Amino acid sequence: MADISDYLQLYVGEALKQYTNEVALSLENNIKAQLYEGHGYDTGNLRRNIRVDTRTYKDHSIITGYYDEGNADYGEYVLRGVRGKAKVDPIDFLGDGLEKTLENYR
C-alpha cells in the first residue's frame, strides 16, 4: 500500500508541470508583445522565433525565454539598439517580456 506522501508528490508534480506551462506561455506571449509583427531588418521573423524552454524537476522548474539565433541572428542588434548604421533606442524585448510576466504573478 502506498503512503499518502506518494500521492501528494504525484499531485504536486502534476500541478507544478501545469503551472510551469502556464507561466511559460505567458512569458512567450509577453516577449512577443514587445515586438511588432514582422520585426527585424533582414527577414522580419524575429517575433516568430521567440522560444520558451521548460525543465521540470522534482520540486522546481526552470523556464528560459530566448530567440532562435539560427533564424533571427539580428535579435542582438534589436537588443543593443543598432539598426543598420543608425543608433536607435534599444528594445529589451526579453527583459521587458519577463518583467510583464512577473507582474502578472506577484
Q: What is the mean pLDDT of residues 67-74?
A: 81
- Sorted by where each begins, the domain ranges of the chain are 4-104
Residues 6+ apart with CB under 8 A from 93: 31, 34, 35, 50, 75, 78, 79
For residue range 10-64, what is the model confidence (pLDDT) as tens digits? 666 788 889 999 999 999 999 999 987 666 555 668 888 899 999 988 788 999 9
| Rounded Cα–Cα distance for residues 74 and 13 (Å) | 38
